């Protein structure tokens, strides 16, 4: 994939490659159970939900429950929804690694292709769907997104990649707080002994406002460190 046309999104051990105009727009939960939404300027384009489980799940039962919820929502909105299972072309794309999975597609106001899978390494059930507006048919692009998906790190470093920020953090650090704003991304991590703050500012000339980088750092980051010291006392 061309690096100019695609970018990587990484969150809670999950990362995938998407068109550069798609961005992470909503997150919730933690590594054990959570949700993320990726959107372009107009529409939701991808959703991923995950949950850690102690035993091997019954994917057929989970997928059936998911379909029932979708049908219930469709009825409330007076929509017709068409659901398909076992999408053979996507089966071929997802047949990588040890992940057990089932594929599906649905169509209402928009169209979606997705899968539900279980990884025995990270022990998480993951359901993912890529949505397309009616009339859009870019199967090769959609399937390339699925083929790029990774649901756990292989080097004990989790990739956190969003809104121009890209950093690898040791897996024993968990995300305790995040700020996702226009012009500012802040991720606060912590493990048993240490705390780590990662910030990315856009439009550096506006943020600095005539100050040197050292002056700006002293004013902004020393305050952050004092906040942590105060909380620990």
The full set of domain ranges for the chain reads: 6-148, 173-232
For the CA atoms of 164, 167, 171, 176, what is the dihedral angle to 10 degrees?
Answer: -60
Label residue 145 exposed, middle or buried (CB < 10 Å: 0-12, 13-18, 19+): buried
Instruction: In whole angstroms, give the CA distance from residue 182 to residue 24.
Output: 12
pTM of the model: 0.84
Say if strands 23-29 and 33-39 run parallel, antiparallel, or are unpaired.
antiparallel
- Count other C-beta atoms under 10 Å from residue 156's C-beta: 9
Q: What is the pLDDT of residue 2?
A: 43
CB neighbourhood size of 76 (10 A): 8
**Residue-wise pLDDT tens digits, 58-116:** 999 999 999 999 999 999 999 899 999 998 888 887 765 667 899 999 998 889 999 99
Helices assigned H by DSSP within 159-212: 204-208
- The whole-number average pLDDT for the span 206-210 is 62
What is the fold, at CATH topology level, of the domain defined by 6-148? Answer: Protein Transport Mog1p; Chain A (3.40.1000)
Q: Could you read off the pLDDT of 120-173 as tens digits, one per residue? A: 999 999 999 999 987 666 788 888 999 999 999 988 999 999 998 999 999 999
- Number of Cβ atoms within 10 Å of the Cβ of 100: 13
Residue 207, pLDDT score: 60
CA dist., res. 231 & res. 233, Å (int): 6
- Per residue in 19-68, pLDDT (tens digit) is 999 999 999 999 999 999 999 999 999 999 999 999 999 999 999 999 99
């Amino acid at each position: 994939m061309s690096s100019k046309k695609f970018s990587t999104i990484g969150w809670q051990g999950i990362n995938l490659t998407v068109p550069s105009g798609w961005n992470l727009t909503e997150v919730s939960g933690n590594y054990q159970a959570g949700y993320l939404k990726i959107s372009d300027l107009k529409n939701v384009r991808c959703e991923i939900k995950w949950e850690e489980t102690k035993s091997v799940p019954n994917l057929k039962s989970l997928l059936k429950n998911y379909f029932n919820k979708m049908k219930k929502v469709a009825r409330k909105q007076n929509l017709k929804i068409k659901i398909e299972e076992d999408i053979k072309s996507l089966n071929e794309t997802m047949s990588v690694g040890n992940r057990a999975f089932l594929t599906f597609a649905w169509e209402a106001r928009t169209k979606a292709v997705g899968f539900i899978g279980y990884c025995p390494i990270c022990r998480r059930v993951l359901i993912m769907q890529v949505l397309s507006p009616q009339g859009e048919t870019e199967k090769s692009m959609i399937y390339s997104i699925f083929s790029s998906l990774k649901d756990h790190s292989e080097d004990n470093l989790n990739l956190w990649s969003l809104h121009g920020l890209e950093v690898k953090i040791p897996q024993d650090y968990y995300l305790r707080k995040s700020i996702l704003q226009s012009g500012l991304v802040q991720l606060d991590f912590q493990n048993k002994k240490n705390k780590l703050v990662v910030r990315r500012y856009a439009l550096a000339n506006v943020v600095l406002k005539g100050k040197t980088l050292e002056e700006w750092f002293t004013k902004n980051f020393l305050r952050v460190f004092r906040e942590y010291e105060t909380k620990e006392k």
